Chains A and B, each alone.
Chain A
Amino acid sequence: MDLRTDLALISEWIAEGSHLLDLGCGDGTLLAHLRDTRSVTGYGLEIDDENIALCLQARVNVIHTDLNQGLSDFADDSFDYVVMTQAIQTIHHPDKLLIEMLRVGRQGIVTFPNVGHWQARLSLFFGGVMPSSRALPSEWYHTENIHLCTLRDFEKLCDDLDIEVLQRAVVDRRHRTSSSMRLIPNLFGEIAIYRLRSKLVKKN
């Protein structure tokens, strides 16, 4: 199976046999892959009808959910990982959802398109138009990406929310990494991948 680059990278971060919640799981590719290769169990949350049908086809547990309603159906620490790939930028309140992710999961993994990427910077600086790139193809008026950020923005939010960054990786859209990306990730990274943990002690 040809796995999307960020998904392939995430898979390597997931421990064998863990219990995982995938927010905005799409067609269930990540969960099916982790089930087959790492005996991972868990659920995908999805709102799109087509994707829900595809998850069932892939024998992936999928729960029809609007992520903007939060994760109140899930108890604290009920998952080893809560993953959200390429969806945080579409959420009404990303900060609240991040807190929720780290409430129900011991660790969170988040990927998003980096608006600090040089192409986005160039199109705004020279073109005077909203950034558009391979990772951000939509026009501003019909994009689902309502809360775009850069690596620096995201890390500041984590800091404000007492969230510890355990691991960070940046890749291009083909999931390749390079020395320039490692050197100046906020400029050369197209897609950011973070592994997170809450610094706060949970009540239970």
Chain B
Amino acid sequence: MPDILAPDNVGLVTAQTHKFTTPLALDCGRSLPSYELIYETYGTLNEHHSNAILICHALSSDHHAAGYYSMQDKKPGWWDTCIGPGKPIDTNRFFVVSLNNLGGCKGSTGPKSINPDTNKPYGPDFPIVTVRDWVKSQARLADVLGISQWAAVIGGSLGGMQALQWAIDYPKHLRHCVVIAAAPKLTAQNIAFNEVARQAILSDPDFHTGHYYQQNTVPRRGLMLARMLGHITYLSDDAMRKKFGRELREGKINFGFEVEFQVESYLRYQGTSFVEHFDANTYLLMTKALDYFDPASEHNNNLSAALAKVAAKFLVISFTSDWRFSPSRSREIVKGLLHNKKNVSYAEIKAQEGHDAFLMPIPHYLRIFKNYMQQIEDEE
């Protein structure tokens, strides 16, 4: 909880919601007749509307990327390390827009929302949305905000995939694309982890084929397991060793199945606290959006061909210990851009923190990010 707000913090923020009444046709063949998107903005839109930046969120984040809702908040927004006055995404210069994606559970229309056709929550009937659908909905939000071209679209992990999709689908509507700790598509191993997470949720007796809202219950155990598994893939072996080693909570082994090692305690804590603020149906949808993302698939699996028409300048960043989306995955994106002679810079950041590193205040990372963003400012 902040006693006073740091000068490089965006301060107290409030979210806004916009209701869209034009139907949105989705990749799955269905369409959403109407939907709401919740978003936050930081900084001020300039006269020419040329300083806007879109932040795309990852699997389990939301629109609250920076600042606090109240002085009682324990934590700021999820990307507060990078967004704020003087930070890489400098709110003194840029107008930053961060939204919760469709299918989310933090205020945008998703499985928890009421289906107007039935007056009941969508639950498992909410259509499966793709990265392309999200980008389409984000483009509509840009229209509402009067932003015809983003100075940059930026995201980490699944957010980076959205940024990449933006550059492919709307080449003239962004000048820069910053893709951090992402991949051009998931590997079989990535999908396998997602599938285990989904099975954990789907096989929880409290899941009720997704209609658990009406049963006044939550598939807690399933969602908790899914999050525990996810967390293992977000950290590196080194980071876990450094953080927990084989440390025992009570200093001795008890020959039982209760929590003994600190790492077990940590994972259980992460799992249980996640259940309090995240929806299992949304988790299922988000993992599917990840699995389906593959822009090269429409171009004979040739990523270079998929990137042939991008116009944005790219910054691609990876982290050495990230094994979920390793540096070689980022290099695939870079290679596709190089083949097309596109403007691209690539930095591989030495970091122990694994996939989560993109959220951490790693000095070299912040410097690279800031130096690149500075050139966007200089164009203004």
The number of residues on chain B lying at the interface, defined by a beta carbon within 8 Å of a beta carbon of chain A, is: 22
For chain A, what secondary structure do more than half of its interface residues adopt (helix, strand, loop), or is it mixed? mixed
Provide the B321-341 mask, 1 if CB < 8 A to any CB of A, else 0: 000000000010011001101
A78 to B340, CA, bound (A): 10
Query: Is the CB–CB distance between A53 and B371 below 8 Å?
Result: yes
Question: Could you tell me which A residues sit within 8 Å of B by CB distance?
Answer: 19, 41, 43, 49, 52-53, 55-57, 59, 61-64, 73-75, 78
B150 to chain A, nearest CB (A): 19
Question: Could you tell me which B residues sit within 8 Å of A by CB distance?
Answer: 315, 331, 334-335, 338-339, 341, 343-348, 350, 364, 367-368, 371-372, 374-375, 378
The chain B residue with its CB closest to the CB of A49 is B364
11 A-B contacts (beta carbon < 8 Å):
A41-B341, A52-B345, A52-B347, A53-B364, A53-B367, A56-B315, A56-B347, A57-B371, A64-B348, A73-B331, A73-B338
- Residue among A41, A55, A61 having the largest count of chain B Cβ atoms under 10 Å: A61
A159 to B164, CA, bound (A): 45
Query: Is the CB–CB distance between A56 and B375 below 8 Å?
Result: yes
When A53-B364, A56-B372, A73-B334 are in contact, do A61 and B345 touch as well, CB less than 8 Å? Answer: yes
A74 to B344, CA, bound (A): 13
A39 to chain B, nearest CB (A): 14
Query: Is the CB–CB distance between B341 and A52 below 8 Å?
Result: no
The chain B residue with its CB closest to the CB of A55 is B345
Enumerate chain A residues within 8 angstroms of B339, measured Cβ to Cβ: 75, 78
B326 to chain A, nearest CB (A): 14
- Residue among B339, B344, B348 having the largest count of chain A Cβ atoms under 10 Å: B348
Enumerate chain B residues within 8 angstroms of A61, measured Cβ to Cβ: 343-345
B357 to chain A, nearest CB (A): 15
Enumerate chain A residues within 8 angstroms of B350, measured Cβ to Cβ: 49
Query: Is the CB–CB distance between B368 and A73 below 8 Å?
Result: no
When A56-B368, A56-B375 are in contact, do A78 and B345 touch as well, CB less than 8 Å? Answer: no
A188 to B345, CA, bound (A): 39
A75 to B348, CA, bound (A): 22
Query: Is the CB–CB distance between B345 and A56 below 8 Å?
Result: yes
Query: Is the CB–CB distance between B368 and A53 below 8 Å?
Result: yes
Enumerate chain A residues within 8 angstroms of B374, measured Cβ to Cβ: 57
Q: List the 10 shortest-distance A-B pairs measured between CB atoms, nearest first.
A: A56-B371, A64-B348, A73-B335, A63-B346, A57-B371, A59-B375, A56-B372, A62-B345, A53-B367, A64-B347
A57 to B377, CA, bound (A): 12
A52 to chain B, nearest CB (A): 5
